[in-house]
Chain A
Amino acid sequence: VTYSRMNTLKIIGRIVSIHCSEVSRIASDELEQPVGVADRLALWGHLIGCRSCRRFRSQIGEIREQIRLVPSDYEVESRLPDAARARLRLAIISVADQARPNSCDSGQ
């Protein structure tokens, strides 16, 4: 009984003393791997009283979600600039000329 009371006190103490900087670290870690019980309790306890940390935690999760929703739509958006295209074409042609004996053209 004393042991569990000690534990409860410790947990409450941690909730009271934990800083936003550490809470935000735990919130970020949550996106990477399961977080330990002590950290989780301290996090939840702190979140009850801290709107900034609540927002931070939900927003970094949302950012991840949003990124995962975009890419398939977004994949075609970037166009190789014309100058770069021209430069690359030259580079390819000069190297392709050397490689020509092995390319498909040899069959034509």
Chain B
Amino acid sequence: MVGCHGGFAAVQRVADDCSPASQQKVPDCDPTSWLDDHGDALYTFAIRRVGSTEVAEDLVQEALLSALRSLNAYQGASSVRTWLISILRNRIVDYFRLQGRRGSIDGTLDTYAPFKRNGSWRRPVGRLPGPHTRLERVEFLELLNRCLGSLSTPLAQVFRMRELDQLEGTEIADLLCISPETLRVRLHRARIYLRDCLQKHGLGGEPTK
């Protein structure tokens, strides 16, 4: 029998998990159960990074299928979920690269001018009511995601990677093949836009002054 974990050492390491007796209880060994066990986690992981539900679905599908094809590469050293997530992460990075290459700098911000010609704020910066409860935090993140959705891809992408993914700036610049300076400019513009969007659609729907 060839285990789903490949190599001999790996099979030994996970022998308990994958022995025929326990196979029934260990869904990890059965790819068709991945969807039930890890589908939502993968989808959540993807959606928080790419924003679009459609793109997230596609990436999850690609990741699962590529995991299936490379089942033998899985060494059993990490949990199946960790392994699947790492494959998904690679897919997301590929997607970002492609977007970065395609992405023109940006429909939204060219027409979005937060400053007057003399460099002062076009509209005074208002208050942002901060989320306090757990529910408000979740609402806040949902609102932020909606705002990110209306932001142009290159800007939303660097913001996601920096703030949601908490990657280091140098890492992001490397991944996207942009200069650190370009990254800072994009983050700056993204922050201006998002802050404004959060204020406009503030929590509780009350316009804030």
List residues of A whose CB falls within 8 A of some B CB.
19-22, 24-25, 28-29, 31-33, 51-53, 55-56, 59-60, 62-64, 66-71, 73-81, 84-85, 87-89, 91-93, 95-96, 99, 101-108
Any chain A CB within 8 A of the CB of B156? no
Extra contacts besides A32-B184, A63-B144 (16): CB < 8 Å: A28-B187, A52-B121, A66-B130, A67-B141, A74-B137, A74-B141, A78-B47, A79-B43, A85-B35, A91-B61, A92-B31, A92-B32, A92-B34, A103-B29, A104-B30, A106-B2
A55 to chain B, nearest CB (A): 4
A49 to B77, CA, bound (A): 57
CA of A96 to CA of B118, assembled, Å: 62
A70 with B188: CB separation less than 8 A: no
Q: Tell me the chain B residues, 20-67 only, with Cβ under 8 Å from chain A.
A: 20, 23, 29-32, 34-35, 39-44, 47-48, 53, 57, 60-61, 64-65
Within 8 A of A (CB), among B159-188: 163-164, 166, 169, 184-185, 187-188
Q: What is the number of residues of chain B that contact chain A, defined by CB distance less than 8 Å?
A: 63
Q: Would you call A52 and B65 a contact (CB within 8 A)?
A: no
